[in-house]
Structures are given as C-alpha cells and as structure tokens.
Structure 1
Amino acid sequence: MPRDATPAKKRILAAAVAEFAEHGISGARIDRIATRAEANKRAIYDHFGDKRELFGIVLADQLDRLAGEVELHADRIPEFVGELFDYCAAHPELVRLVQWEALSLPANQAPNHARRSASYQAKVDAITEAQRRGHIDPGLDPRRILLLLIGMAEWTLYVPQLATMIAGEPTNTPEQRTDHRAFLVALAQQLLQPRNHPEP
C-alpha cells in the first residue's frame, strides 16, 4: 500500500484488488470499484488513471507486499519455495492477478516491467551467491533455477483442478498443504545440492 494512501485510497485499492482478481483487466468495471469502495468514480480516475493504470498500481502493491514477506537468501534457497507457497496460498487474489496479467498483456507490456525485472535479477544474484558458497550445483543456470523455484511453489495454486486430478483428492486442505510444502522444500534441497563430479 502506498505510504501516503488516504483511507479513501486504501478502500479503492482494496476494492480494485477484488474486482481485478474476479474479472481481470478487460472485465473489471470502474463503477463497481467505486461502489465497493464507497468512492466517487471520478476520484478513481483522478488518483489512479485509467483502468489499465489502476491494474498496474494494484499489482505492484500486491507484489510489494509479497516482497516484504518473502525474501530469497543465499543460505536459505529451499526454504524460499516453502515460504512462497505459504504466501501465495494465503493470498489467492495475487495468484489470480498474475494469471489475468498473463492472459491480458504481452510479456513486454507487463506493468512495472523494468522494476520487476530488477527485483528478479536480485534473486538471481542471490542464487549465484549460493552457488559460489557451495550450497547449489554451480553447473545450473541461476535464472532457470529461479524459474523452477517459483514454478514449484505456485503451480498447484495456479492449476488446482490439475493438482486434484493427479493427487486424487482436494489439494487445498490444511493437511494437504502442509504435506505439499514439506515436499517442495525437500525436493528443492535435493535438486539443487552440488553434485560430486568424478575426476577425469
């Protein structure tokens, strides 16, 4: 949430999160956001711009919240997967916003593209540092490692129907999520650990 957000702006952003998560960019309506927020429709345009600009602000705010809660450290790479899974499971609106972004916009037109790319680069750098310290196999591409970790953490949340078909039971119960989280962390640890390469 922007630090200078007034109560009215906070209500508008909260209403916009719900609206965009439910309807996406093209399906969202400013008048519904205004009604949910008990705000003036004109004020939304004045403070946040058009609908696409508002979506970008909403998504950036949600991603900032994620970044403030889940960090990737060089000495805790596998744990990052579990913490990211926990956060996204607890914030399904973020999962839906990212899905709508992928469905609605070309990759190079994603809101805050440069800023978000820099944030991901910092995570790639942390993985590179983990490789330097001997925590992760140095032969693996750190960029693809990050893609793998994020995919592992979020995949069952993005396609719960597929997860349920494969598992044979709902995967969103507390017990299933606890088991899946433990599996993700253990798997990340095993996949990324340095391999002992025999001398030629």
Structure 2
Amino acid sequence: MMTSASRADSPRERILEAAKTEFALHGIAGARVDQIAKSARTSKERVYAYFHSKTELYRIVATQEMEAIAAATRLDPTDLPGYAGRVHDYFTAHRDNLRLMRWGQLELLGNSSDEVVDAMTARKTEQIRRAQLDGHLDPDWDPLDILTFVSQLATAWADQAPPGRPLNETPDEASAGVAQAAFLSARRAAIVAAVEKLFPAAQS
C-alpha cells in the first residue's frame, strides 16, 4: 500500500511539482517538457506517459493550485473585505503561483472552455447570489461582477514590487526593513478598505 510519503515522491508527483515551477517561469508555450523531466528526475517519455500533452499537464497543475487558493482564502460573501485581504496575503506570499495562473489566462483565453474554472466560478457566484438574497450584499450588483472586481482588487499589488525592491525578492527579504513592511501593510489595508466601500453589507 502506497503511503502519503511515497505518493509525494512518486514520479507523477515530482513531474507535477517540476511542471508548476517551469510553467510559472515560462508559461505554457515557453515551458520545456525535457526540463520538467530533468527537474523531476525522470524521462520525457515518462512525462508523456502520465500526461498526454503539455496543455493537459498545465491544466492539472493549475487545477491543483486553484484548489489550494480556495482552501487558503475561504470565500465568505458576508465578509468580502476579509476575503480580499486573504487573497492578497496568499498571492504576496506565493507570487510564482499568481504568474502560473496568469499564464493560463493569457495563453488559453478563448481557445477552449475550462470546466474546472467554470465550475469554481459558478460555485462562488452562487454563494454571492445567496448572500444577496439573504440581505448581506447589495442585490443590484451582478454576482459575477462582484467576484471579478474583488479578485482584481485583491491581487492588484501581488505582482508589484515595493519601491526600491526587485519583484523576485522573497517575502521574508522584502519585509526585513520596517519601511517595506509598512508599505505592504498599507497596500493590504487599502485593498480591504476599497472592497468595504464597494461591497458593504446591505442595511437591513
């Protein structure tokens, strides 16, 4: 019986982890399957044995990341400012993951429907719709607009370098100075305040 530790070091899991790094750096078109195989300590043939195409491999990696994002940020339609703050926190701590998702938006947009993205979007908009019906949110907004605007605001600073700092600096290094920590804290506060002004709970 395969344990969780052995699954984590299986060729398939190593390929997925290596692919996540490669796609974040180079996108789908620019990612090299031979580099993924090398990083995963396996062969290019083994990669294609598990995944039929590079696009399929990207979709699986992106699906795993979307599930991780959903678990870490926990959409609460009755507290959209808090949700926006959590999304900001997640992506400022995982900037590579934001690049990973944006490559898919750039390269796959309009090419085909993504059932996973569509299902997740439908689930979240339905949560927002129920909150509107329950009087927690202004019902005049389209739920999809609410979700989109909050997501855009929440990630507005996630891939922006603080003044005088390179974007590829890690969060720990970037927050080493008091001034930089204050800068990041102020950006988060601005996001939360903006969402609060746009989508306050409806008055009963």
What is the TM-score when the length of structure 2 is the normalising length?
0.80
Equivalent position of 2:196 in the other structure: 189
**1:28 aligned residue:** 31
Long gaps (5+) in structure 1: none
Paired residues of 1:138 and 1:194 also in contact (CA < 8 A): no
Q: Any residues of structure 2 matched to 1:109-128 within 5 Å, and which?
A: 109=112, 113-128=114-129
- Say which is worse superposed, 3-12 or 79-88, in terms of deviation: 3-12
- Given residue 180 of structure 1, which amino acid in structure 2 is its aligned partner? R
Please give the root-mean-square deviation of Cα atoms over the aligned residues, in Å.
2.4
The answer to which structure has the higher helix fraction is 1
**Secondary structure at 2:125 match in 1:** helix
Q: Which residue of 2 aligns with 1:105?
A: 108
Q: For residues 164 and 34 of structure 2, what CA distance do their matches in structure 1 show?
A: 40
Of 56, 61, 78, 1:58 maps to 61
Distance in 1, matches of 2:164 and 2:104, equals: 29
CA distance, structure 2, for counterparts of residue 67 and residue 21 of structure 1: 19
Q: Quote how far apart the aligned CAs of 1:102 are.
A: 2.3
Tell me the distance in 1 between the aligned counterparts of 2:82 and 2:110.
28
* Cα distance between partner residues in 2 of 1:99 and 1:37: 23
Determine whether 1:39 maps to 2:42.
yes
| Structure 2 counterpart SS, 1:75 | coil
- Matched residues, percent identical? 32
**1:105 partner amino acid:** L
- Secondary structure of the 2:140 match is coil
Structure 2 spans left out of the alignment, 5+ residues: 168-173, 175-179
Q: 1:176 aligns with which of 158, 169, 183?
A: 183
Matched letter for residue 44 of structure 1: V
Whole-Å separation in 1 of the counterparts to 2:61 and 2:126: 27
Maintained 8 Å contact 1:15/1:33: yes
Query: Partner amino acid for 1:138?
Result: P
Compute the displacement of 1:80 (Å).
0.8
CA shift at 1:79, angstroms? 0.8
The answer to whether the 8 Å contact 1:24/1:100 transfers is: yes
> What is the CA–CA distance in structure 2 between the aligned matches of 1:177 and 1:150, rounded to whole Å?
18
Q: Secondary structure at the match of 2:76?
A: coil
User: Is the 8 Å Cα contact of residues 157 and 187 (structure 2) preserved in structure 1?
Assistant: no
What does residue 141 of structure 1 align with? 142
How many angstroms does 1:157 deviate by?
2.4
Letter in 2 for 1:109: S
Contact persistence 1:81–1:184 (CA under 8 A): yes
Question: 2:197 is aligned with what amino acid?
Answer: Q
Aligned residue pairs: how many?
186
SS in structure 1 of the partner of residue 22 of structure 2: helix
Distance, in Å, in 2 between the alignment partners of 1:181 and 1:107 is: 32
SS of equivalent residue, structure 1 residue 107: coil
Cα pair 1:88 1:157 within 8 Å, conserved: yes
> How many Å separate the matches in 2 of 1:123 and 1:6?
30
Structure 1 range deviating more: 89-98 or 4-13: 4-13
Task: Report the alpha carbon displacement of residue 84 of structure 1 after superposing the two structures with TM.
Answer: 0.7
How far is 1:169 from its partner? 5.9
